[in-house]
Amino acid sequence: MPKKSTKPNRGFQIADQIQRDLTELIARELKDPRVGMVTINAVEVTPDYAHAKVFFSILVGDPQETEDALNQAHGFLRNHLFKRLHIHTVPTLHFHFDRTTERAADMNALIAKAVSSRSKDD
């Protein structure tokens, strides 16, 4: 049986490295005033490494404005990734605002409200 040359978790390793490098690049190299404190939550790379969905969250600022700024800077960021990553194809970056933490905060508020109204009824 021929040995497979690619590791099955290579895509995850590439995504993890892209996440770490983008975090550093956005903080240190990107000078766009629309981009404040950005947290890269996850990166999903297609099997052919042609595209990467980058999910981010922000502490303050407008999510849509930040998403637009990051997508406009994708070429700049991809170029810097190309210098850091040792892979044949650096994916095209697609930034998406991640509403997971926002939804979690809303759910926590709803739960707290339900618990407080239940304790008032008791």
Identify the three-state secondary structure at position 91: coil
Angle between helices 10-28 and 74-84 (to 10 degrees): 120
| Residue 98 CB coordination number (10 Å) | 18
Confidence (pLDDT) at 116:
87
Angle 8-14-20 from CA coordinates, rounded to 5°: 140
Find out if CATH 3.40.50.300 is the number for domain 10-121: no
Please give the chain's pLDDT, 122 residues, in tens: 444 445 668 888 999 999 999 999 999 999 999 999 999 999 999 999 999 999 999 988 899 999 999 999 999 999 999 999 888 889 999 999 998 877 888 888 889 988 888 877 66
Confidence (pLDDT) at 8:
64
Asked if 47 contacts 59 with a C-beta cutoff of 8 angstroms, the reply is no
